[in-house]
Amino acid sequence: MEIPVLSVKFREALSYAANVHDGQVKKGTSIPYVSHLLGVCALVLEDGGTEEEAIAALLHDTLEDQPETVTREDLRARFGERVAKIVEGCTDVSPDYRGGPKPPWRERKTRYLEHLRREASAFVRVALADKLHNARAILADHRQLGDELWSRFNAGKEDQLWYFRELVGAFREARAPSRMLQEFERVVTELEHSTRTS
């Protein structure tokens, strides 16, 4: 597998993502959020993704988490149309979201699943890398904390497990990269099993 040579544009995206998410930590931890972005980026590159996909991986949460700071137009101007489209595809809020309360969790996730099944081709690798990285982190934390970890999230254990299982099916329908999808399904199954036995 040939890893793309990463350009100045990639370094700009890394710096931009670090600044946008400065001070943000992973839920329930003191771990800088940028570690998640780097993990998603690594999964994309390991799967043979392009530099544009790697850049989008670094930026995939900007519109959702920092809507007061980052706009779609800004992403297009800085990093190009394809990167902006991938980031938009990975976002579970509506295009006109500019901050404040988000729609209810289940509503957002159901809409995202429909979007993934319908229009995933442009963003599926980055979206799957994001969900795989999240699932791995949750599984590792569950081994350490047990069901206490679910209190970190906006939705409880049953809803989270429902969402992960639905994502497996949606990624399959979207013809996601098979190796990464197999790993995602394995992690989700292990997470389901570990929560039943805890």
pLDDT digits (tens, 9 = 90+) for 27-67: 888 899 999 999 999 999 999 999 999 999 999 999 988 88
Domain extents for the chain? 8-197
Q: How far apart are CA 8 and CA 138, in angstroms?
A: 33
**How many other β-carbons are positioned within 10 Å of the β-carbon of residue 96?**
6
Q: What does the pLDDT read at residue 103?
A: 86
pLDDT digits (tens, 9 = 90+) for 112-152: 999 999 887 889 999 999 999 999 999 999 999 999 989 99
pTM reported for the whole predicted model: 0.93
Banded model confidence at residue 5, pLDDT cuts 50, 70, 90: low
Query: Residue 91: CB partners within 8 Å, gap ≥ 6?
Result: 60, 63, 64
pLDDT of 72 over the 70 cut: yes
Pick the CATH number of 8-197 from 1.10.3210.10, 3.40.640.10, 3.40.50.12780, 1.10.3480.10: 1.10.3210.10
pLDDT over 90, % of the chain: 74
Phi and psi angles of residue 177, each rounded to the nearest 5 degrees, phi first: -50, 125
Of 64, 52, 171, give the one whose Cα is nearest residue 121.
171
Q: How far apart are CA 148 and CA 33, in angstroms?
A: 21
* Six token digits for residue 117: 């099944």
* Six token digits for residue 40: 């998603």
pLDDT of 2 over the 70 cut: no
pLDDT of 188 over the 60 cut: yes
